[in-house]
Amino acid sequence: MSIPDLALAQEFARQARAIRCESDEFELLSFDQLEAEPDPVYVVDGLLKEGDLVVIYGMPKAGKSFIATDLLASCTRPGNKFAGQFLVHEAVPSIYATGEGRGGLKFRSMELKVQHNLTPEERDLIRWCKSVPNLIAGNDDPRSLPKFLNSISRRLTRDGLGIIVLDTLRLCTVGADENQTRDMGIVMNVLLNSIRETFPRAITVVIHHSNKGGTMGGSLQIAGSADLILKVTKKGNDHQFECEDAKDIPGFAPIAFQLMPGVSSALVDWQGQRVLKINTRDLKRNAVLDYLRNYCQGEESAKSITQIAASMEGVSRDTVGNYVRAAKSDPTSGITSSQIRCKDANKIVEKWWSEGF
């Protein structure tokens, strides 16, 4: 060992001796102490336990966010069965923070309220946030994780139990490279330590994307840090929800579901267990007309057919066009051409009505 190396080693040793040993940061446990610790407490039997970090990932439009919101609605009532098979043990408060699809959040919440038959007390357990924290931002940043945790602290139970959904990981890590092990190591460390230190019992659910090959995108640090990885896939109109990896549960067989049109948004139909036998044509028509009446008042707020369809999950562009055309010929609908924005600014709106969409 060279002299500079020896001097450096001696300095490290001196600093180590100076550290106060009463710190419990690196507490050493015996066999008996470890065995005396409480067992993990499951909030959702066979799926989610207190303190878990969960990643739900899949391709765009696979239904990731719908799975997450359906989970939150299921967890408002003990005895519910999420996905038709996972028993909810206790009602827990939850936070759904999203940076994507915020325009349709209102309609999705309305659909959850109806389909889960949520009481006012149960609805009060869920809070919606139209922004996500930046996990790598400094404490002075208004979107930093500490400020986010402080904002939601009054919504969780006194002992920190609750479910926190962050949708999506990409929007929570602006400025970081998700393919770099170092960057994702820092991000996952923040998730594991900052949230657990503040809310030890909270379950954190992160929505993430898959790559072109269908596997989880980003560094292996993401998968390595998660307690549970749930994959959502789509083939045609059929969707699938499966356990890709889990640290503490045996996993489960893939569960099929569909996204069905509801009153105001799409809803998760777990193998045909929940969808009501309703006239979806009338429901979609009424939803389109209600949207026009509420959000398209006059030319300044007029929307194009594409914009309307994008704001209404579960209703296609062609369907919107059909209902708008029909509304024009119905004098009782109250819909006028001024509520529809012309696709080409050089054409007049009336051309839409005379020549179709």
Q: What average pLDDT values come out for the chain (357 residues) when binned by 10 residues? A: 53 54 72 92 94 94 94 96 94 91 81 91 94 90 91 81 93 90 89 86 94 87 92 91 91 90 83 49 66 65 71 71 72 65 40 37
95 membership: H or E segment, kind and range? strand 94-98
The string of pLDDT tens digits covering residues 261-285 is 877 788 899 875 544 444 456 566 6
- Phi, psi dihedrals of residue 295, rounded to the nearest 5°: -120, -5
Q: Give the pLDDT confidence score for residue 11 in this predicted structure.
A: 60
Q: Give the pLDDT confidence score for residue 218 in this predicted structure.
A: 86
Between helix 317-328 and helix 280-295 the angle, nearest 10°, is: 70
Fill in the DSSP letter of residue 340: B
What's the rounded Cα separation, in Å, for the pair 166 and 193? 16
Coil/strand/helix, residue 272: coil
* DSSP secondary structure letters along 153-219: TTTS-TT---EEEEE-HHHHSTTS-TT-HHHHHHHHHHIIIIIHHH-TTPEEEEEEEB-TTSSBPS-
Domain 42-269 CATH assignment equals 3.40.50.300: yes
What's the rounded Cα separation, in Å, for the pair 353 and 348? 10
Which residue type does 26 have? F
Q: Give the pLDDT confidence score for residue 284 in this predicted structure.
A: 66
Q: Give the pLDDT confidence score for residue 67 in this predicted structure.
A: 96
Residues in the chain: 357
**Which residues, in sequence order, are bridge partners of residue 233?**
240
Is the whole-model pTM more than 0.75? Answer: no
Task: Show the tokens assigned to 207.
Answer: 């929505």
**Which residues, in sequence order, are bridge partners of residue 217?**
none
Closest to 168 (Cα-Cα) out of 224, 218, 227: 218
